[in-house]
Structure 1
Amino acid sequence: MTSLAELCAQTLAIDPSRPAIEFDGTWHDWGAVQALAQDIRRKLSESGAGARGSVIFAPRNRPSALAALLAMLADGRGVRMIYAFQSPAAIAAAIDRLDASVAVLAEEDFTPEVRAVLAAKGMAGVGLGDMTARAMPGLEQGTPRPEPTDAPQVEILTSGTTGPPKPFPIPHSVIAGFVQNQGVTMIDDPDEPPFLMSFPIGNISGVYSVAASLLRGKRVVLLDRFTVQAWRDFVVCYRPKAGGAPPAAVAMILDADVPAEDLSSLKFFSTGAAPLDPTVQRRFEDKYGIPILLSYGATEFGGPVVAMTPQLRAEWGDAKFGSVGRAMAGVHLRVRDPVTDEILPPGQEGILELVSPRMGQDWIRTSDIAVIDADGFLFHRGRADGAIMRGGFKVLPETIERALLLHPAISAVGVVGVADPRVSQVPGAAVELKPGEAQPEVADLEAHLRLHLPSTHIPVHWRFVATLPKNPSFKIDRPGLKRLFETEPAR
């Protein structure tokens, strides 16, 4: 199998006159991408990272970040992702938990907090601008670390279900296999519509979006973040036959009342990364006549493992409505009883386990409740661990609770998922104050949380209560907590 570094070398040899990435109304050709990637490769080597040293990377959805990712992968470097969509203090804390000779961030993310951590840890800094890269003043040289001996990996952040988001290693070989399993190694068809990329570059969906498009030479239209207007403009301009977006986008498109004729080219709409409300799916399909194809996967599985394909939808129609599809090639699924631990027959609900061949042949126990029917279709019923599925991000309530308890005015706190028509669920926090403490402003609590957690963890709904509901064991009564938010939640 061709290595990921070799695939990137092929990509960096594409005709430089061909268009590569469109961002904010401007097309950047492959010549510009290649020149920037080569410049970044030089700067990383000169910074103390050596030939293959790992790099801490906080990408924003910009063309320079895509060029930087190509540069790192072409050199066979380990990439340690952190989220850029968090406060300067949280970015600095994330860097402090990791180690490398150099960190690559957008220039504006080299805040005083970040610079202080880099200096203290002996790390260099490479700043990305508008298709530019530079060694940041005062951070030109990092302390060299030993050259890695293991196979290179991309450490992608999981959703932080037991604390701060944790890095999960995806070997370069797994990403290379994904590229080559697309059917062809390179695409050279300028008449084919570009690939619309709106997932964050640093998460599993973003990495595989790059693998399915840019690494195969396909033109990319890059969005800083998903908006209905930008998505609609793309569909109207390029008239693709298939489209897709995060699950939250489905309700957003409906709310925006996008005219059906604007989407008439689409034969399918693909989505995954989080559950989709079946009523929202039904409304979309009834309004636009476009079948929604669901999928199921996770960072820990090395990407998607189950999918509803156009062929399956055509064969089964509405008989499997709401299913995320059948297992992909080589994937094995089973369901266990959460109490007895016995493997359950088709049609019975339990805890999902699976084998993902990308990650090996061991069974992976999930925290998802699922049903596998007699025809092998998987139906995702929710989470067994109380995790809040906020769009494509999984958040455990305890993560938010621990951070809120660091606030000096808070005595106790309980967090639950509150239903949301766009992103499936959002956090709701019920707060019990210490005696004599004045009730803080919600904005103050949000600012406090941003010092410790990514923005995806910030509660949308707040309740201030005299006493949190407790069960007979004096633990937080989660059902009782949920009832606090069943009426119109208050801030």
Structure 2
Amino acid sequence: MTSIRDALAKLWEADDDAPMIQQGDTWFTWGEVRLLAEKLDVELTAAGCGEGSRIGVVLGNRMESIAALIAILGKGRTIITLNPMQPVARLAADMAGARPRAVLAPTSMWAEVEFRTTAEDGGMIGFAVDGADVVVANSPDGKSPSPDREVADPVGIEMFTSGTTGPPKRIPLTWRQLEAALTAVHGHTGAAGPDDRVPLTGRVALVTLPIVHIGGLWGVLQNLAEARPFVMLPRFTVEGWCAAVKEHEPKVAGLPPAAMRGVLSADVPAEDLKSLRAVTAGTTFVNPDLADEFTAKYGIPVLIMYGATEFSGAIAGWTKPLHAQWWNKKRGSVGRAFPGVQLRAVAEDGAVLPLGESGRLEVSSSQTGTGKDEWVRTSDLGHIDEDGFVYIDGRADDAIIRGGFKVHPETVADALRAHGSVLDATVFGRDDERLGKVPVAVVELVDGITVGEDELKTFCRDQLTAYEIPVRIYTVPELPRSVSLKIDRRRLLEMISEIEQSAPAVTVASGR
């Protein structure tokens, strides 16, 4: 198995005129990306940022970010991801906490006073990167740059978890984890291709998620390691995704659940997706009803994956042969563990549970932070059946204990999604003086539909036990989502607060 650094070095064997990255109607050639990567490497080296140096990158879906990845990872440096989709104040605070030795960002970001001041106060070397231009944007002026951190297990990437159920955490992903994840993916899918394939030739891949998220970033890393040309959408839209599929006719493409609903709602013609043999999904919980609806409409199986940022990506999933053989019997599973990955369910005291019994999932793999000789406990509840299929039963840290009764938010959300007027739903726990916590739901309706709270509660009574029915059901024009298309919990709570402060009305017309 070729290492990621060796694979990046192999890119230099590609023809300079080879198309590498498509954005909109523009193709960037390997020669353009190579020249920028080499320029960045020269500047970083001159600034004293050698192997192991921690380099912050405002990582947007643009060509400059790909050149930065090649320059940083290709020379054994560490990339510190900085999310351009955050407000500037939050981005600056993130940068201050991470304290990279140098920062690469667009010129527009350096024009933000708070961003520039944070870099100055932290003694960070700054570079403005736009197109082929690399300009020194901040010099420490005699201040000592932040020292590189000594670690026993060298880190390739430091990035945030999604923060779906709490504050995001910055996670170090070691080179060992990254290499293990790539090996596991290739062992699972067999997608590495022949060693003698000419670099940057063959079928064009799609990168549809923001690359500051593990799903999007892993798509880029896999394409770079395999020397494949790819389309990189600036942001996901149904129109952009469908246009890329129609133009390049990939066999497999990623499609998160929210995006899958978007494709179904847009009534995209099956002819436009005729090249697809499968879609992969796994940034968040995938409802099997949604997967079956998509497959029924388009004849395309949905291959569900399971993973996390902490594991450098996916650790379990379906393949097309598995789906053909087992889906009808194992519907609702997230598939089997990848090669080199072991999974088990344990009780809260750590006792290993029998097959079929639900408990906290634990992982043993080189993809974890500690390595395959130790078991790492996740926040997910699940069970494993006698055929090795993994089922996610909920999140241990997301359960709502209502007067001693346990309510799983996804169970309640699924009940609401079954209503014909509800496009999507999410559920969270609200503190209650008498019961501890109570479930509160927020729904997004099908365009043009108006549904009252009482009607939705009545609908739930036929599907849920009394203690599972939400105490309130709010309707919003559109559920707020993070870069990975998961529900943005912080923004959701802000929206509910705004609704409560403006008016207690609970019947709101949907619209986008």
TM bin (shorter chain): 0.7 to 0.9
Aligned residues: 429
SS at match of 1:97: helix
Which residue of 303, 308, 311 corresponds with 1:301? 311
In 2, Cα distance between equivalents of 1:13 and 1:123: 34
In 2, Cα distance between equivalents of 1:203 and 1:178: 16
- Residue 366, structure 1, aligned to residue 378, structure 2: yes
In 1, Cα distance between equivalents of 2:314 and 2:51: 32
1:117 and 1:233, CA in 2 relative to 1: closer, same or farther beyond 3 A?
same
> 1:157 is matched with which residue?
160
For the Cα contact (< 8 Å) 2:208–2:254, is it kept in 1?
no
Which residue of 243, 260, 285 corresponds with 1:233? 243
SS at match of 1:233: helix
- Residue 170, structure 1, aligned to residue 180, structure 2: no
For the Cα contact (< 8 Å) 2:176–2:367, is it kept in 1?
no
> 1:70 is matched with which residue?
70
SS at match of 1:96: helix
In 2, Cα distance between equivalents of 1:38 and 1:331: 37
> 1:207 is matched with which residue?
217
> 2:492 is matched with which residue?
459
SS at match of 1:202: coil
1:165 and 1:415, CA in 2 relative to 1: closer, same or farther beyond 3 A?
farther
1:108 and 1:416, CA in 2 relative to 1: closer, same or farther beyond 3 A?
farther
1:316 and 1:421, CA in 2 relative to 1: closer, same or farther beyond 3 A?
farther
1:266 and 1:465, CA in 2 relative to 1: closer, same or farther beyond 3 A?
closer
- Residue 84, structure 1, aligned to residue 84, structure 2: yes
Range with bigger deviation, 183-192 or 81-90: 183-192
Displacement of 1:7 in angstroms is 2.5
> 1:136 is matched with which residue?
137
1:190 and 1:33, CA in 2 relative to 1: closer, same or farther beyond 3 A?
closer
- Residue 344, structure 1, aligned to residue 349, structure 2: no
SS at match of 1:100: coil
Runs of at least 5 residues in structure 2 that lack an aligned partner in the other structure: 187-191, 400-408, 414-425, 432-436, 447-475, 481-486
1:53 and 1:415, CA in 2 relative to 1: closer, same or farther beyond 3 A?
farther
Displacement of 1:121 in angstroms is 1.1
What are the within-5 Å matches in structure 2 for residues 14-93 of structure 1? Answer: 14-50=14-50, 52-93=52-93
Displacement of 1:45 in angstroms is 2.3
For the Cα contact (< 8 Å) 1:60–1:201, is it kept in 2?
yes
What are the within-5 Å matches in structure 2 for residues 245-324 of structure 1? Answer: 245-324=255-334
For the Cα contact (< 8 Å) 1:325–1:378, is it kept in 2?
yes
What are the within-5 Å matches in structure 2 for residues 98-117 of structure 1? Answer: 98-110=98-110, 111-117=112-118
In 1, Cα distance between equivalents of 2:306 and 2:505: 29
> 2:454 is matched with which residue?
none
For the Cα contact (< 8 Å) 1:46–1:141, is it kept in 2?
no
- Residue 380, structure 1, aligned to residue 410, structure 2: no
In 1, Cα distance between equivalents of 2:222 and 2:51: 27
In 1, Cα distance between equivalents of 2:506 and 2:367: 41
1:312 and 1:132, CA in 2 relative to 1: closer, same or farther beyond 3 A?
same
- Residue 120, structure 1, aligned to residue 121, structure 2: yes
For the Cα contact (< 8 Å) 1:47–1:142, is it kept in 2?
no
* CA displacement 1:240-274 (0-9 Å, x = unmatched): 22222222111010011001111122111111121
Letter in 2 for 1:273: T
Displacement of 1:355 in angstroms is 1.3
Letter in 1 for 2:491: I
1:337 and 1:137, CA in 2 relative to 1: closer, same or farther beyond 3 A?
closer
> 1:473 is matched with which residue?
none
1:61 and 1:160, CA in 2 relative to 1: closer, same or farther beyond 3 A?
same
Letter in 2 for 1:365: R
1:174 and 1:187, CA in 2 relative to 1: closer, same or farther beyond 3 A?
farther
Superposition RMSD in Å = 3.5
What is the TM-score normalised by the length of structure 1? 0.78
Displacement of 1:157 in angstroms is 0.9
1:414 and 1:101, CA in 2 relative to 1: closer, same or farther beyond 3 A?
farther
Range with bigger deviation, 257-266 or 127-136: 127-136
For the Cα contact (< 8 Å) 1:21–1:220, is it kept in 2?
yes
Displacement of 1:418 in angstroms is 3.7
SS at match of 1:156: strand
1:140 and 1:85, CA in 2 relative to 1: closer, same or farther beyond 3 A?
farther
1:274 and 1:238, CA in 2 relative to 1: closer, same or farther beyond 3 A?
same
In 2, Cα distance between equivalents of 1:178 and 1:2: 13
In 2, Cα distance between equivalents of 1:16 and 1:273: 35
Query: How much identity, in percent, do the aligned residues show?
Result: 32
What is the TM-score normalised by the length of structure 2? 0.75
SS at match of 1:86: coil
Letter in 2 for 1:353: E
In 2, Cα distance between equivalents of 1:35 and 1:70: 11
1:91 and 1:351, CA in 2 relative to 1: closer, same or farther beyond 3 A?
same
Displacement of 1:377 in angstroms is 0.8
For the Cα contact (< 8 Å) 1:125–1:140, is it kept in 2?
no
In 1, Cα distance between equivalents of 2:389 and 2:47: 51
For the Cα contact (< 8 Å) 1:418–1:485, is it kept in 2?
no
What are the within-5 Å matches in structure 2 for residues 189-204 of structure 1? Answer: 192-204=202-214
For the Cα contact (< 8 Å) 1:186–1:216, is it kept in 2?
no
Displacement of 1:299 in angstroms is 1.3
For the Cα contact (< 8 Å) 1:123–1:141, is it kept in 2?
no
1:107 and 1:165, CA in 2 relative to 1: closer, same or farther beyond 3 A?
farther
Letter in 2 for 1:289: G
Displacement of 1:211 in angstroms is 1.9
Displacement of 1:2 in angstroms is 4.6
> 1:439 is matched with which residue?
none
> 2:5 is matched with which residue?
5
Letter in 2 for 1:326: R
1:218 and 1:276, CA in 2 relative to 1: closer, same or farther beyond 3 A?
same
For the Cα contact (< 8 Å) 1:64–1:132, is it kept in 2?
no
1:186 and 1:8, CA in 2 relative to 1: closer, same or farther beyond 3 A?
farther
1:326 and 1:466, CA in 2 relative to 1: closer, same or farther beyond 3 A?
closer
In 2, Cα distance between equivalents of 1:310 and 1:374: 20
In 2, Cα distance between equivalents of 1:84 and 1:163: 20
Range with bigger deviation, 283-292 or 242-251: 242-251
1:38 and 1:358, CA in 2 relative to 1: closer, same or farther beyond 3 A?
same
Displacement of 1:162 in angstroms is 7.9
For the Cα contact (< 8 Å) 2:346–2:353, is it kept in 1?
yes
In 1, Cα distance between equivalents of 2:8 and 2:180: 13
Range with bigger deviation, 1-10 or 265-274: 1-10
> 2:450 is matched with which residue?
none
In 2, Cα distance between equivalents of 1:31 and 1:142: 36
